[in-house]
Structure 1
Amino acid sequence: MGKQYAVLHVQKHSSTGGNLGNHIERAEGMKHTYPHANPEMKKHNKSFKTGYEGMSLGKAVLKRIEKGYTGKTAIRKDAVKFLSLILSGTHDQIMKINQSAELYTPWLRANEAFLQEEFGKENIVKLELHRDEKTPHFHAIVVPLTKDGRLSAKEVVGDRNKLKAFQDRYSEKMKAFGLERGEENSKNNHVTTKEFYDELEKTRKEVENLDLDRIQLIPAAQKTQMIKKYAKTATLDLNLKELKNSKNKRFRQ
């Protein structure tokens, strides 16, 4: 087993509309928003108590802003209203954690505690663990309110350097679970949630459609480049490992 990395993805949102909430909460009748989920595994997902249970994502965000915003000016329409976060790691180690009686509960608590320390418990309006997709991962929805009641994503997650420090702190928390800091300055770390899943699906299809007989005639150097391409996508969500392994056996000379 190679290096096992912690994965932390952050995205800013100005609108409370869209299907993100349906995806996170596995809304009934909205399966098109979570096509990668296994219905038989849904019962193993976990919802964390935040005080906003029963509310849609949009209502929960607006409710938290209503309760916590103390700014003197009206909030701009294009202001960042919430942050969405994905917390996970390399597939092999995440599966090991999820199958370990000793590691699983401490891992849950460590992720929840990390978010509360970083953003304040009161600002986390949604926190879900998805175990019905290939690699278990957390989804968190956070309203970026400062301690003095201002809505400021810039201050909460800051610039590139502050975001890097944020990722460093998360990786440090995950060391106890066998996860290391991922590649710094990697473009793969800066994609939207939609791009994340679009790229994953695109690569799945590419791998499935490979002409294995034709591949036997491809020069070794070109094969290496092809494998690197698939490996890059796997760093986003290492869900492709088993699929790639079955195909890559035929790549070798």
Structure 2
Amino acid sequence: MSFLIFRTKKLKSFGEISGSLSHNYRTRETPNANPQETPKNEHSHQSADDVLCGIKDRIPQKVRKNGVLCIETLMTASPEWQGWHNASKEAALFEKSKAWLVEKFGAENVIATSIHQDETTPHLLAYIVPLDPQTNKLNARKWLGGRTKLSQLQTDYHQAVTQHDQDFGLRRGIVGSKAKHTTIQQFYSQIQAPIVPNQAFEHVQTQIQPISTPVPKKPLDSQLSEPAWIASVIYKDVAS
């Protein structure tokens, strides 16, 4: 049984926004990401700075103290979803997700989107400035205010993805469930958790061999950190 997943995170400072963007664009070390697959990631903007400028341009000059500057959303499906083995279904899922975000939050408020292909499960990230067009003020409560609105967002998202007789085989989470909501931060914590080997496995002795590819000097235009660059070379050497 596979579920459609929608998570949100409120970003209340430009420091939080920059930290999220550095993870999104891999400008800081990302242990759970495979550097060899990172070039497959898709971004609506070329750089984190471009996204940050877009967010700043959308935010009004007067902002309430402790107000939500930006909403980060994560949209994906269960890791076991069969659509991950079907390129057209995967692309359709993300396109429908983007279209729903524009319809729900407004095209001007959806500043940027990214698709990560270098982590355990592909997922779509979006950065949304919660500007209420009626008041021209930031108003995250309009969309995220309370359990009822969050639940309705989940329902609306599921209906938008599965409408027009295009069944992705994805279920909405159980309405009214007492299960604790998983945040974006918790989502990443789960997929970054180290894999604990089964104690029942027979111990296998192996002899570690040095990598056959010498590590070349990191290009000047590379956005990867030095450890991430070395890791990318090693991944290519041992990919098989």
Query: Aligned partner of 1:197: which letter?
Result: Y
**1:95-244 → structure 2 map (5 Å cutoff):** 96-148=82-134, 149-175=136-162, 176-184=167-175, 185-191=177-183, 193-202=184-193, 204-205=194-195, 207-208=196-197, 211-212=199-200
Q: Is the 8 A contact 1:114 1:173 kept in 2?
A: yes
Deviation of 1:54 after TM superposition, in Å, equals: 5.8
1:189 aligned counterpart, secondary structure: coil
Give the equivalent residue in structure 2 for 1:47: 43
Give, in whole Å, the separation in 1 of the partners of 2:178 and 2:41: 30
Deviation of 1:103 after TM superposition, in Å, equals: 1.9
Higher helix share: 1
Q: Is the 8 A contact 1:82 1:144 kept in 2?
A: yes
Deviation of 1:186 after TM superposition, in Å, equals: 4.6
1:77 aligned counterpart, secondary structure: coil
1:109-129 CA-to-partner distances (Å, cap 9, x unmatched) read 201101101111111122100
Give, in whole Å, the separation in 2 of the partners of 1:146 and 1:37: 35
1:97 aligned counterpart, secondary structure: helix
Query: Aligned partner of 2:79: which letter?
Result: H
In structure 2, the gaps of 5 or more residues are 202-240
Corresponding residue to 2:56 among 50, 55, 62: 62
Q: Is the 8 A contact 2:42 2:114 kept in 1?
A: yes
Give the equivalent residue in structure 1 for 2:25: 25
1:125 aligned counterpart, secondary structure: strand
**1:211–1:58 CA distance, 2 compared to 1 (3 A):** same
Moved segments of 4+, more than 4 Å:
none
Give the equivalent residue in structure 2 for 1:38: 34
Give, in whole Å, the separation in 2 of the partners of 1:187 and 1:59: 37
Deviation of 1:22 after TM superposition, in Å, equals: 0.6
Report the RMSD for the aligned CA atoms in angstroms. Answer: 2.3
Q: Is the 8 A contact 2:12 2:66 kept in 1?
A: yes
Give, in whole Å, the separation in 2 of the partners of 1:82 and 1:181: 25
2:37 aligned counterpart, secondary structure: helix
**1:190–1:146 CA distance, 2 compared to 1 (3 A):** same
Q: How many residues align?
A: 193
Higher relative contact order (CA 8 A, sep 6+): 2
Q: Is the 8 A contact 2:143 2:150 kept in 1?
A: no
1:138-185 CA-to-partner distances (Å, cap 9, x unmatched) read 111110011221210011222110110100111223333221102343
In structure 1, the gaps of 5 or more residues are 214-253
TM-score normalised according to structure 1 size: 0.68
**1:38–1:119 CA distance, 2 compared to 1 (3 A):** same
Query: Aligned partner of 1:120: which letter?
Result: G
